[in-house]
Structure 1
Amino acid sequence: MSGFTHCPYRQSSLLQQALAPNKMRIAFLLGAGCPMSIRVDAGGGNTSPLIPDIAGLTTLVSTTLATDVELGADYASLLARFGAAAPNIEEILSHLRALLDVVRDGDINGLTQPKLLALDKRICQITADVVGVPLPDGETPYHNLAAWVSGISRAHSVEVFTPNYDLLMEQALESHKVPYFDGFVGAREAFFDLPSMESDTLPSRWARLWKVHGSINWWRTPNHDVVRKNKSDDADRQMIYPSHLKYDQSRRLPYLAMLDRLRDFLGRGQAILVCCGYSFADQHLNEVIMNGLRSNPTAMCFGLLYGDRAQYPEAIRCAMRQPNLSILAADGAVLGTLNRDWNSASQDSHPLHGVAVSSVAEGEVERCRFGLGDFKKLGQFLAHQLNQNSDSGASNEA
């Protein structure tokens, strides 16, 4: 094994410089691991994540439907089609919607169109109940990010992409009075407006929020309009978990329009994309990121991973093929396609020691651990930068 290492302090400083005011165009990609970083009281002195990950959500949906008198048998028939495989809820719903495309007036394994529609609606209801929780009051990483968006001077709007269906980022932005545009316009039933997305003429202080896998408050009406609203009519269909199996007009919008925003962001000029809570397990999203980085060498993506590199083989594979994708994990990094451990030398006097990098004892050896793959730590990192800018401004005034 090579004795060469990467320096976690240097990479932390480089990330901080990239996020400096007016430096360049900046976006964040917040994956399913982000709400996992917020712990809430689960009783008995225990805590649980605010919103479970995909595996946890799949378990909740399956447990609930297994005891459903009306839909339990139909759900079991749907799962039986996967054989010995263990699909997650997104794969289950994508398969269900593929069956809806072909079943018409017949049935497949006893699953008729009305049964499949009922399963689709119930799965979405359970999901909305789980992920539709309010953001806790006080300081959360979402609040830290919203405060950073509001407090950092910049020439370009900050863009936030997320495959999550929750409303946590919206709540944080609103709590800090940060104006944002999410592709919808209106009040009672906000409608999706593609021309406004494409013209992009709003002031730079407006954030952009793109929900690339839909949201629990997106609905398709019987007239096939896409609207954003808090409550729906029985005839509306909730738009979460897009299946990428069919690209007809009814599915192109708004999902592909959101992905086009990511393509556009990475494809032009100097751009920084910071990914947190994203494991690079979504091949469709990876394709957009990788193609964008290949087409624009001046773009840079920082993939901040929670835990060690061994948990993320696909992220490592992508970074070892693409030099402007940096993967930063707790135990090491892939930088410029080179996969190496972190240098173990602790720099206690470094301004980011204890913020982005910590020193831990492993037996008799002290090793550096990179912490920004934890969304909570990233929030503290952004708050630290905001505080530094405030101190610098006060010093200049003095």
Structure 2
Amino acid sequence: MVQNYVRRGARGTAVVGAGLAGVTAARTLADHGLDVVVFEKSRGPGGRMARRSYGAHQFDFGAQYFTVRDPRTRERLPRWIRDGVVAEWPLRLASLRLDGQRPQGLSGLELLQPSEPRFVATPGMTALCKHVANGLELRRRRRVVGLDRTDAGWMVISEATTNGEHSTDEMRVDGPFQHLVLALPAEQAAQLLDLAPDLRSHAAAVCHQPCWAVMLGVAEPLDLPFDGAFVDAGPLRWVARDSSKPGRPSAESWVLHAGPEWSSAHFDDDPADVCRALIETFEHVAGRSTGDPGRFRDKDATELAAGRPPVAAHRWRYSMADDPLDGGSLWDEQLRLGLCGDWCAGSRVEGAFLSGLSIATAILTAVRRSDAP
């Protein structure tokens, strides 16, 4: 059944996607007096700035940290720190490599001096998006499946989602909206852009790489001289001791990220096999045991095995953009339709923030132009 929530007159802006780019765009527009509605398929804001907890263990299993290089982010950073949602991560950084097949413990370790500060949201990476989204009208668990454009504006067609599953029995149509922003991975945005072929061609030119992430709880702290490491060994490309980040629980918690090539080749693997491959590689290059090798769990499991720290995997279909744009955002003033996301601005967390600012600026400029006598 389709429920219609159609108004006589168009209202401000619909933003599809509540990652950092989407909520930044919505927050900026709302702060300038525009009426904004955000549609998000998950239960709350965050996108790939994702956090998951299993008992006393907590994991940032998507974006790990962010750096600040742009003056606009640098201007906003003190406010986030003052509000208690961002802190510097005093990261002990390293690189790990594996030469040959013989276990080498930490002989492939090189300690690195971070070239710039790393920052994290607290108490988890999701917190920054939640903070920015506070007070916005957020339609949670609504997956946007279609768009339509009438003389009055944009219509947004969505379906209900529960635990990642969708239900066509709960379809609804919202609108009309004067402006529409798709703050989605490029591939997902392209699927909705039949009415905007030029924007669709730009989005279709960008490809995201997948990434398998493993969340690894350890009963006792690992005696290692680093908290985060770039890895060149088998499937692994990054490992981080998440429990070393500010504001986190003390239970030893590690996140392991596979590289894009391995993640692509093993995209449909069983999560337990992914856990085994990444953890065995981590133990190999670190020269440390992380616990009982029989405790690998399915990615959908939510109950902890009795007396065992958690092990779980998550597959990111859209991780880093392989060929990101650098214009900040894409805006079609005639259609009053825009695209934003980290893939529009260099594929970093800071890029997502700047992209949200960019599309909001484009809309505000269009509003001022239309209001001019």
TM-score, L = length of structure 1? 0.26
Which one has the bigger helix percentage? 1
Which one has the bigger strand percentage? 2
**Structure with greater contact order relative to length (CA < 8 Å, sep ≥ 6):** 2
